[in-house]
Amino acid sequence: MNKFFRVLVCVPIGIMKYIGLKVCYRKNVIISPICACSPFSEITMNKNAKLQFGRKFRMRGGARLRVRKEAQVILGSNISLNHNCMVVCHEKIKI
């Protein structure tokens, strides 16, 4: 039951984060529309940073993804950032 409740909360929040990133960074962000992001996760991007997610991307509570100036992050399909995981990119990361 806990898993289904988490999906009901995290998928709409993931869609809202997707829309917010798309509005702010336009073509520098490519994200599959269906992703599950916890309300307690954060995504930070600097100027000219590029971010790309594949299908079924999941971010748990406390996870942080930071893409610094002119860096590029590419995360493939079925990727999950678990609790309190931090990914900081200064140049390029491809998973």
* 54-65 tens-digit pLDDT: 888 888 889 999
- pLDDT band of residue 37 (cuts 50, 70, 90) is confident
- pLDDT band of residue 86 (cuts 50, 70, 90) is very high
Q: What is the pLDDT of residue 1?
A: 54
Q: Which long-range contacts does 71-80 make (Cβ < 8 Å, 24+ apart)?
A: 71/46, 73/49, 78/54, 79/53, 79/54
* 22-34 tens-digit pLDDT: 888 888 998 877 7
